[in-house]
Structure 1
Amino acid sequence: MSGMGQFLRRMRRSYLKRLFKNAGYSKNTPLVHYLEGIRAEPLYEEMPLHYDLFDRNEFLCRSLSLYDLPNDLKVPPDELFIIGSGPSIRKQAVDKLANKNTILLNGAVTLIKDAGLHPLCVLVVDELFCRKRLDLLASVPDETNMVLTFPAIKEIAFERPDIIRKNRIFLLHEKNMDFHGKLGIDAYNLSQFDKPTHGVFRAGTVMSAGIQLAAFMKVPNVYLLGLDIGNAETEPRFYENGKDKIRTGLLKDYDELILPFMKLAAAWYNRHEYRIFNCSPVTKLPYSVIPYHDFDAIG
């Protein structure tokens, strides 16, 4: 597409987004997807779904099933490290995870190059990150497993459809609701926790999606890195500097979304006799919810 054509398409999209927002439509309404041109067509009715992904009439790729993702777990498959973007990552020797099972969240993709990691997958749920830091996603090696929500896929495909084409795309559904304290830790929510093929709970942080994905894969030992939270507004993420820092809602969402979700996660892992640890030494999340594990002690 020519530069002018892309400019006009972008302006049209911006106008449509404002129009539908003012009219009270959700950004996930099928009509919005249709008018923007980037759409996903399901092949089967049951979950999880394979999708044919299109940019208007141009075929991009066929998404893979989440059930296929555990097949790429390295041996031994009993440990998984989910790496977020907290500043504490700067002081941790994450290069020792090069041959471990890792899920890289958002800007943690920089660790593929900077620390030599070979992740199980890259996980992105936030379209804002895709819009602001598309350069980081463009740097991942070809054939990387990328677990993406549809809003994330749309943002990537709008500017850089080649990223969708050259990688292995897994479509992750989100539930049409946030997990907040009012929902509580009940039998239904616990039963849904390890079923991302039914949609993951939205809980104010991409880490919540990573934890649910780990539960789905039945990995018995899960370690969370970069889950700092408390310094989100005062310090840049480990891969940022002061000039390219993207806004964050972590502190705003902490009490209503993040903390209640982490309590649900702890309850699920305890019930199934799996273990989950927080390896961030400066976290806002109490260690009474997710216990601390010294990352330096991990071999």
Structure 2
Amino acid sequence: MEELQLAIQAEQQNIMKLEQEMQKKIVGQKNMIRKILIGIFTGNHILLEGLPGLAKSLTVNTLAQTLGLTFSRIQFTPDLLPSDIIGTEIYNEKTGEFYTKKGPIFANIVLADEINRAPAKVQSALLEAMQEKQITIAKNTFKLEKPFIVLATQNPIEQDGTYPLPEAQQDRFLMKVKIEYPTIDEEKHILSLLTTTTDFDNIVINEIMDKEKIEQIKKLIKQVRIDDKLINYILNIIFKTRENNQYISCGASPRASIALVIASKANAFLEGRDYVIPQDIKKVIFDVLRHRIILTYEAEAEGLDVEDIITNIMETVDLP
């Protein structure tokens, strides 16, 4: 295991360089960047929830450049069609044959902006891509290039003209990350950056990693150790969400247990360790569970949110 620890520590230099490169354009938002990296390094999708103007799109685009990945942004609207995302077959009058025109989903990182504004048909097409890592156009099936990550955003306030994401689709996201406002010092830095930099849009972002490096990191994360006591700790929390509870109408699925293990191992890697500690679980548990627990009307009537319920459950489960 000493070799694994040395390999993980060697990668910390690249992680540091990546974060420094991101800081050329992104101020603060370290939690969002860290959680997106967990998704990319484990090959999982991330749901970002935050108000407009919090640099979600800029962060995702900049990160794609530092990782040498292709990037595509899709603005979801109520009139969007599945073919607008996955592509379609087009008839060529000169040859008398159909040819396939691939849609914007054929990229390594796909930013699904305001995903909850798209109707059910579009959600269904996206779900196949997220789960099966493939796209069906007419009679043809196309495998999506690895890595393939969907980073979706949604506005928590404005609900007019939106379509709530089905529970089955929400469960496909490894984590749901809440994006917070910057601090006053961070916002002051943002203003300084925009007013002193002659051409902000043309700041050069260097490639720090590539697809091969991401695959290497994915293999390292899989080797990170997690003790049976911590596995039991995770299971005890998950099973608490399924007990008869006046505030929970639907608990977390087995996919939540898997997600907690994956995310905690990735967090341990990002902190330079080859083993998971309880703090790794605590750092990802709210992001993993907040979109997988459905509350009762009674909970909402009493002003309780998912974070309150998760906190209460964690207080009743003993740490190993």
TM-score, normalised by the number of residues in structure 2: 0.26
User: Higher RCO, 1 or 2 (CA under 8 Å, sep at least 6)?
Assistant: 2
TM-score, normalised by the number of residues in structure 1: 0.28
Larger C-alpha radius of gyration, 1 or 2? 2
Q: Which has the higher helix share?
A: 2
